[in-house]
Amino acid sequence: MARAATTSDTFNAIAEPQRRDILTLLRSGERPVTEVAQALGMQMPRASKHLRVLREVGLVRVREEGKQRLYGLDARGLRPIHEWVGGFEQFWAGSFDRLDAYLQDLKQTRQEK
């Protein structure tokens, strides 16, 4: 079944490349929306919209400092993504183990010739 066309969950929120860029930018620390927009070459209203979506799904937190609102990464919101991707770790580990065994057998066969 297709995913709903909303941004109400983490997966949908990070499907947007500009939102992933914002998360990457915020890894280095808090920034006001003006800096986010400038650093990523987007208009402030667009940056604000993306930050709002990221905040609503729990990936970004906002803190007021004087008249400024500072946005920062809240990596706890990435837990569902981490857990989902982690489910594939066993698959890849098993695939690499099988590849390694195959290469060792191939090497052994060549040495025996």
The answer to the question of residue 16 being in a domain is yes
Residue 41: predicted pLDDT: 96
> What is the phi/psi pair of residue 29, to 5°?
135, 175
Q: What is the CATH number of the domain that holds 104?
A: 1.10.10.10
Whether 6 shows a pLDDT value over 70: the answer reads no
Range of the domain at 88: 10-112
Q: pTM to 2 decimals?
A: 0.73
The answer to the question of residue 96 being in a domain is yes
- State how many domains the chain has: 1
The answer to the question of residue 32 being in a domain is yes
The answer to the question of residue 5 being in a domain is no
Residue 108: predicted pLDDT: 82
